[in-house]
Structure formats: structure tokens, C-alpha cells
Amino acid sequence: MAQTLVYKIIDEHLVDGRLTPGAEIGLRIDQTLTQDATGTMAFLLFEAMGVKKVRTELSVSYVDHNMAQFGPENHNDHLYLASVARAVGAYHSRPGNGICHQVHLERFARPGRTLLGSDSHTATAGGIGSLAIGAGGLDVAVAMGGGPFYTTCPRVIGVKLTGKLPAWVTSKDIILRLLSILTTKGNVGCAVEYFGDGVASLDVPARSTCTNMGAELGVTTSLFASDEVTRQFMAAQDREDQWRPLAADADAAYHRLVKRLHVERDTKVIENISRFCTEVELGQKDAAGFLDVSFDHIEIDLGELVPLAATPGSPGNVVTVSDLAGIGVDQVLIGSCTNSSYQDLMTCAAVLKGRTIPPNVELGVHPGSRQVLSMIASNGALGDFIQAGARILESACGACIGQGNSPGEARVSVRTFNRNFTGRTGTADDSVYLVSPPTAVAAAVTGQLINPRTLSQDLGIDWPNVAAPKKFLVDDSMINSPGPEGETINIVRSSTIVKPPAGQSVPDTIRGPVTIKVGDRITTDHILPAGALLKYRSNVAVYARSVFNCFNTEGEPTFADRCLAAGVEGRSAFIVGAESYGQGSSREHAALCPMFLGVRAVIAKTIERIHFANLVNFAILPLTFANADDYDTIEQNDELLIESACSAVASAETVEVVNVTQGMKFVCKLDLSERQRRILLAGGLLNYTRKT
């Protein structure tokens, strides 16, 4: 039977389950990556499993997130990560070497390999033909120990690219167009596979921009074939011997996707599906105004794309840049794991050469890796940035995760990043637009959002059209190799490196208050902020005090206070959410910290893939409403009761929840595999792994 490329790689790595969409499968993992915001806990959990050495083909610990180092916590993490990596047989990319996804793409990712990373943007490596998946740190720790990674066998969405991108349009506009079609929700359990003659016109970094932001779609992974373009990239990185050609079978069939949309609220999405998808069918509108829209695959003519932008609040709020023309810009930031490649920065440097940014605009540049920084320093492009007035920021995640460069109150920030969730910058009323590098540099030059094509028309700036280099500057001196066998290594454990708590098995009766009720699209940034508070990730007791602090009311008990108060009374805590609860980052602390506070169940309309897995891993029941309307009947502080919870987890598909306060009952679904049921009954994945 003809296979998609996603299924070909899964087939090669399948160790448990069957290649059936929707079924749970276990995959052999070849490579893992961690970063310092998630990696400290991942390695602590790895040590807690009692495994002495990593058993993957390759595991790499990166330091790229917590770089500001206000106080000792971040450096304590870095020292621990460097020493534990050497002790257990992992590579360690030192601070300053670059962002994990870009460095891994440059130096380690390989076509046909599986990569599991404790970061939601791990799928960046799909641009080189690697089946790369983001997961919680505990799942990565298990994979480092040689265990399979379990996930749902994805339905594969086909995205056919034809033609060639015109001047001033880049691959960022491809993924923004895809976000306008698929949106940020309703894609759990899917993978995106790009194909078509247009793929050959995209270099590997361009492809990786598309796969990187697949995380914003909510899909398991995104993938491009490995072709001659891939070979040339790997040859330029002195890794041609690791290349292999890979592609889907010519007659491979893609999954027919069905999306439930609201006729009035989702009008633009329905229009985009009708325009860019094949064999579209519109179902009948129900009484609430919803209908099912199904389609065969998505087809994007690259030559017809125009510069696009995601407007504040969500990467899915996509409009044309021309629609935004004239909006004044206060800050421009170029970089992140999405758009900080050599080609991205050279394009921007070429536009800025000989110019100075307006006095009212701040411009910051995050080179994606030390390799890129070294190359633009050698060829003079770094000087062009500096002469134009740019601030050269560290080769790190930085502002993308709220680590500095917060915009002023109600100020417009234009960024080449992948997320613009409100408040993620560290400014509560931020106004962040996500754009391509050409659009960003056009904003830096003119002080306003404009279609970058007008640079040619109004300022006489030619489209740079930067080609991929035939040879990259290869220097791996900032990557530490694993320690030799038999070497005695002292693992550095400072006072802020705290042993992680283990979960508890599901009790037979769960009773307690709804400590918070939240709405749609609650991200892991809402649950636990990044930014300056990331430094507490290796100390759960401290970090847990910040859970849901964005919803705190001055003078009222915090979410943590309410949970702890319930625990003192011998009760559990519940969280109630709506659509797409837990989207965004892979941060397992969004489950680990609520578990520490006594949360035993999350009830939502839908829960995103990585967060759902993290809830199971830390023994929190992930429940979804059997009837979504029941969400409206629950109020914060209502007392909920689940009886016979243990037996329900063992075998039932549904569980009855009693709202004691309202005097009513409702039903929730237990969409769990047999393995997930065993994990919950064992008190989480760490306990389960120890026992097995």
C-alpha cells in the first residue's frame, strides 16, 4: 500500500501498536533534545528513574532559554546540565552556542530519524526530513532511558505547494497562510506533510520555518521530504554522509480532514478552506450555527502568496500586511527559532545596509546560532546591523519567551517569532504582530507596518534574494561531548536544584472545589508564565506559587492559595476549561505544578495533545465534557464529586461528575489508552516506569 512519508518513518520505528490513525503507538526514538528551561527537570526525572546512561543514538542538552541570570538559579541549572550530560552520556551545547532547534538542524538532525524534544517547537527538524515531535520532559526522560514514546498515530494532512515564492514573500507567509486555513485548534492527532513541485524551491531553513510553526497548529509534527536541496544543505554543514533521500510514495493518499466551524464566527476560515482546499464539502448548519467542513488536501500556489501577519493575541489571527498598512511600530525584533537563519539575517542586513532606523523604533536581532553570528560577523553583515542602529542580542530564545525586550505599555511590537499570546512579552497589554523577516525589516526602516514590496517601489531597495551558502562555518567547539566510560563525574547540585515530586495514584473518591474556571485557548503561558519566572523551574514548590497568576485579583486568594486551602481540608482541586485547553509550549510544569498544589482533575471541552499527555504523566485526570454545554452550568468554587474514580480510570469510557453545589450531574469522557490508564493508576509515568 502506498504510504505517506510520515507513515514510512513511523513504520520503521514502530515498536508497539498498529499503523492505524487514532490508535496509540509506541515509537523507538533515535535522538532527543532538551533545553535549560525544561531540561533540568527532564534530567532530574531521568536520574529518578535509576538509569545510568542514555540509550538513544544521540541525546543533546542545550542551554538557550534562561540566559539573563538574575540571581543564581539559572547558572545553577547550567552547571547541573553540563555535568549531568557528561555523566549520563549526552552532548551539551553550551550557553552562547545558539537556539536548540537551529543548532540541532545545523549539526545533528538527520532524514528519517525520530527526534523527541522537551520543547513544542522540536518539529523544526521536520524541515530536514526528521520525524520530530515535542513532548513533556518526563516523556523525553523515558526516551533517553531507551523506552518508547507513546502517542496517537496521526492522521496526515497533505499540503501541496506549487510554483515559486515571489520577491518579498517567504516561507513565513506559507505557514501563516496555513494557520488561516487550519486555525490553532481542532488539529490534535494530526500531522502535516508538505509535498508538490513547489517544495524544491524552498531551502532547508525555509522549510523549517513551516515545520517550526506547526506547533501553533496543534499538530503532532510537520514534515518535508529529504531531497537534493536537503543533500546540499547537509553537504554545506559537512554532514553529507548522514543524508538519505526520503519521499512519500507518488500515489500516497492523505487524510480527509473535517473541521467543525461556526458559520458567523469562522466566516474567514470557511472562505479560506473553500479557496485553498480540494474537494470541499459543507455540511448542514445546526441550530447553534455550527457546520462540518471537510476537505481532501490543501493546495497553496506559492506564486500567489502575499506578505501576511498574525495580529495580536494569537498566531491564528492572520491578515494581509497590506490590511495593516500605516500602523505605527515602536519595536522590531528579528530572530527566534523560527526566523534567525543565515538567509533570514542576510536578507534583513541587505535592506538595512547604509540606512539608519527611525528614532522612534527599537530594533533587536537574535542570531539563531553561533554559526550564523560568526558568519555575519565575517562577511560584514553584522556591521550593517550595528550601523543601522540595531541591538545585537544573544544567540538565544530571549524575547520570544519573555526574557527581556518587553515592549512599552500598549506599544506595537513587530516580531519574526512564532507566538504572540497576550502578555507573553512580559507586558500585559502588549500588541504583537508576527511577520516574516522582510516585513519586519520594512517596519524597522519605515517605522510602520507596510507591505515590504513597497521598499522596491518607494525606496528603490532591490529584493536581496539571498541564496543558501555552499559552505557553512562549522565549529563545534561549544558542544561538549559525553564523558568517557568509567570516568567519575561530580554532578553539580546547587541549593536551587530540588528533587521533583512524584505523583499519587488516583483515589477512589475525588472531591473538592473548582479552583478556577477559564475560557477558550488557555495556553501554558496562562497556566504558568515564562519570562523572569522560568528560573524557578528546577524548584517546583516555588514555581507552583505562580500557577494562573495572570488571573489573580489583588486582595483575593491566589489560585495556589485556593488549592492549598482545599488540601488542608483534605479535599482535591479541580480546573475547568473550554476549547483547546493547554495549547502552546510543552512545559510539563503546567501539569507538574498543579499536581503539586493538589489538582486531581482537569475538565475541559478539548485538551491539546502535549498537555493532555503531561496531565496523565503527573496523575491528573484529563476529562472532557460529553456534552459541551455542561461547561456553562459550572461556576468557580462549585464543589465537584467523582465517586469510584479509580474503577472508572481502570476500565470505563465515561465518568459521572456530581456538582454538589448546583445539585446536578454531568458526564465526562475518559479518552484514555490502556497504557494511560495504567499510568494514572500507578500515580504517574515516573512511578509507572520505575515499576516496569
With beta carbons less than 8 A apart as the criterion, state whether 220 and 189 touch: yes
pLDDT exceeds 90 at position 429: yes
Q: How far apart are CA 331 and CA 337, in angstroms?
A: 19
Residue 602 pLDDT > 80:
yes
What the chain holds in terms of domains, given with CATH numbers, is 5-152+206-244 (3.30.499.10), 319-459 (3.30.499.10), 510-691 (3.20.19.10)
**Secondary structure of residue 359 in the 3-state scheme:** coil
Cα–Cα nearest to 60, from 11, 102, 27: 102
Chain segment 165-187, per-residue pLDDT in tens: 999 999 999 999 999 999 998 89
User: For 433-473, how does the pLDDT look when each residue is reduced to its tens digit (9 = 90+)?
Assistant: 999 999 999 999 999 999 999 999 888 999 999 999 999 99
Which band of pLDDT confidence, cut at 50, 70 and 90, is reported for residue 592?
Answer: very high
The dihedral through the CA atoms of 132, 204, 175, 102 has a sign that is positive
Residue entry with cell 458567523: 264
Percentage of residues in the chain with pLDDT exceeding 90?
Answer: 90
Q: Closest Cα partner for 346 from 297, 389, 380, 309? A: 380
* Structure confidence at residue 397 (pLDDT): 93
pLDDT tens digits for range 623-635: 999 999 999 999 9
Report pLDDT for 483: 86
- Cα Rg of the chain, angstroms: 24
The pLDDT tens digits for 294-340 are 999 999 999 999 999 999 999 999 999 999 999 999 999 999 999 99
Instruction: Check residue 105 and give its pLDDT.
Output: 98
pLDDT at 174: 98
Q: Report which DSSP code applies to 253.
A: P
Which amino acid belongs to residue 620?
A: I
Mean pLDDT of 418-435: 93
pLDDT tier for residue 493 given thresholds of 50, 70 and 90: very high
Has residue 287 got a pLDDT over 80?
yes
Percent of the chain with pLDDT over 70: 100
| Cα–Cα nearest to 88, from 30, 38, 146 | 146
Burial class (CB in 10 A: 0-12, 13-18, 19+), 178: buried
Q: E-strand spans in 78-204?
A: 91-93, 114-117, 131-134, 149-152, 155-162, 190-195
**What single-letter amino acid sits at 223?**
L
Residues 61-97: tens digit of each pLDDT: 999 998 988 899 999 999 999 999 999 999 999 999 9
Give 604-615 pLDDT, tens digit per residue: 999 999 999 999
pLDDT for the residue 502: 80
Give residue 1's pLDDT.
Answer: 80
**Would you say residue 501 has pLDDT above 90?**
no
- Measured CA to CA, the distance from residue 101 to residue 99 in angstroms comes to 6
pTM for this entry: 0.93
Q: Kind and range of the H or E element at 299?
A: strand 298-301
Helix/strand/coil for 27: strand
pLDDT band at 153 (very low <50, low <70, confident <90, very high): very high
pLDDT level of residue 535 (50, 70, 90 thresholds): confident
How far does Cα 35 stand from its chain's mean position? 13
CA separation for the pair 551, 353 (Å, rounded): 45
